[in-house]
Chains A and B, each alone.
Chain A
């Protein structure tokens, strides 16, 4: 069964600290993995897209890693800011001959405290 599991479900850290969010998946065949940031009341915004051959990708203070062998990904946030408070969603796509499947994780709700 295709699944995407994220941990932790929620996280509270102090401003300026680093944190790492986890995403494990069982999607097959794998096509790509995306991390989205969703602010409250808004649509998700893409942070990174990673394909099978990519191990790491950065977007400012956000760095995503992918281990296709263990089917794990992480999103590392450096020097957190209050504006990083949001839900972070891991999305894995699977490619078939006729269509693609897009499977969402349930998200990690991150709160940054001053």
Chain B
């Protein structure tokens, strides 16, 4: 397996534009997580899915952020409209279970909003 695949690796966009980040989890993993990492706040869990269903989205910063998982092999994180403070590295991770198992992270998408 190629691991968790995220695209794009880098994204530069203008404030106000819509941004869509994509993630393909490891096949067979039932859990998918979206994280955001900044220098100021470190790693933050935004939302996680179990069997394509959002379980906990309490980490989503505001209504401008939305995440979907239409099937077991694909998830998106959308920001609309984007703002400069959204600039961060966004990681997707997947695991077999939410507890007591290893979560595998993708390479991340570095988002810059100018």
**Beyond A44-B43, A99-B55, A104-B43, is A51–B107 a contact (Cβ under 8 Å)?**
no
**Interface SS of chain B:** strand
Assess the B99–A93 pair: CB atoms within 8 A.
Answer: yes
Interface presence of B25 (CB below 8 A)? no
Complex CA–CA separation, A108 to B56 (angstroms): 27
**Binary interface profile of B, 77-114, with partner A (CB < 8 Å = 1, else 0)?**
00000000000000101000011111111111000000
**Beyond A43-B107, A43-B108, is A49–B100 a contact (Cβ under 8 Å)?**
yes
Assess the B102–A100 pair: CB atoms within 8 A.
Answer: no
Shortest beta-carbon distance from B108 to chain A in Å = 5
Interface presence of B14 (CB below 8 A)? no
CB neighbors of A among B37-56 (8 A): 42-45, 48, 55-56
Contact partner of A105 (CB less than 8 A), chosen from B42, B93, B101, B108, is B42
Interface presence of A32 (CB below 8 A)? yes
Shortest beta-carbon distance from B65 to chain A in Å = 17
- Interface size of A in residues (CB-CB distance below 8 Å): 22
Interface presence of A14 (CB below 8 A)? no
* Chain A, Cβ-Cβ closest to B100: A32
CB neighbors of B among A92-108 (8 A): 93, 95, 98-102, 104-107
**Beyond A43-B91, A43-B108, A99-B55, is A106–B103 a contact (Cβ under 8 Å)?**
no
Assess the B100–A51 pair: CB atoms within 8 A.
Answer: yes
Assess the B106–A104 pair: CB atoms within 8 A.
Answer: no
Residues of A within 8 A of B107 (CB): 42-43
Assess the B42–A101 pair: CB atoms within 8 A.
Answer: no
Shortest beta-carbon distance from B62 to chain A in Å = 20
Assess the A43–B106 pair: CB atoms within 8 A.
Answer: yes
Interface presence of A31 (CB below 8 A)? yes
Residues in chain B within 8 A of chain A (CB atoms): 4, 33, 42-45, 48, 55-56, 91, 93, 98-108
Can you offer 7 A-B residue contacts whose CB atoms are under 8 A?
Answer: A43-B4, A43-B105, A43-B106, A45-B105, A49-B101, A99-B55, A101-B56
